[in-house]
Amino acid sequence: MISIVLVACATLATQVSAQCTRDSLKAITAEYLASLAGGKPSFVSPQKTNSLPLLYLENDAPIDIAKGVLSQGIKIDFNRSIYDTTACASYTEIVATTKHSYVIGTRLSVTDGKVTKIDSVVCDDGDWLFNAAGSLRYNQQENWDPIPEAKRNTREVIKAAGDAYIDAWGDKTISPPFDAKCARLEGGSYLTGNCKLNFQPPFVLLNKRYTIDEELGAVDIFHNFPFLDKAIARDPGTQTNNLLRVEGGKIKYIHENTVCQKKSCAK
């Protein structure tokens, strides 16, 4: 009898953890967005009825969720999300051009239907090339429609394009697969036609965290960037993230959000 119950429980647990659908990620992400707009960090309250703890980070630092951007009530002008049903995570970018303007990139990690980690890169005035009006204008004009099923790239191809883009910064032998019209939205500035970057060695990128969406041809990579910000140690360096749109194996769009520990590290 006991063994039958155990088998039943094990089966149920497998079903629950396997249940990471696009629709469930969309619903959780919509809830996050509504909370961000409404200033209600309590959206994670169901967490309390479940033993899973929630880790909340802004710019790589764990903070009290009640004291972060979720408590403010941010009027969102624009949002875009990608959904990773394999890693069970979503990535969302928002732009707010209000008086205190923001560009925020957030990765939600979901376990058994609950958000277990919220990782946000919170950019505002003084951050790398920050200009919310520019972010809004350029982001809105891009086409991130779902890629027709027959033309979708595999998760591996999309991830490899993302890795090639950021790994080429420290290794000039890597040639990332750029589309001829590749465009890079960095802070609020927009550069088209040349997305290649390369920096003096030694150049090490640490703490990569991926969100990959085959339907949208998207990969987001949270990582650290060395040397930019003199206020902090070179390694691991500055908190940043890069969101890429890959079409037919080629990198079409890149969005970068980078935080300055000391404001205006860019100048």
Ligand X SMILES: *[C@@H]1O[C@H](CO)[C@@H](O)[C@H](O)[C@H]1NC(C)=O
Q: From the CB of 72, what's the least distance to ligand X, in Å?
A: 14
DSSP conformation letters of 10-22? HHHHHHHHH---H
List of residues contacting ligand X (CB under 6 A): 33-34, 37, 76, 79
CA distance 84 to 67: 28
Q: From the CB of 134, what's the least distance to ligand X, in Å?
A: 19
Q: From the CB of 143, what's the least distance to ligand X, in Å?
A: 13
Cβ atoms within 10 Å of 214's Cβ, excluding its own: 22
Strands 238-247, 102-111: pairing kind: unpaired
- Closer to ligand X by Cβ: residue 105 or 162: 105
Q: From the CB of 78, what's the least distance to ligand X, in Å?
A: 7
- Closer to ligand X by Cβ: residue 124 or 179: 124
Strands 209-213, 189-192: pairing kind: unpaired
CB-based contact 195:252 (threshold 8 Å): no
- Closer to ligand X by Cβ: residue 14 or 140: 140
- Collapsing DSSP states into helix, strand and coil, what is residue 156? helix
Q: From the CB of 120, what's the least distance to ligand X, in Å?
A: 15
- Closer to ligand X by Cβ: residue 24 or 261: 24
| DSSP 3-state percent helix, strand, coil across the chain (nearest 5) | 30, 30, 40
Q: Give Rg (Cα) of the chain.
A: 19
- Closer to ligand X by Cβ: residue 40 or 209: 40
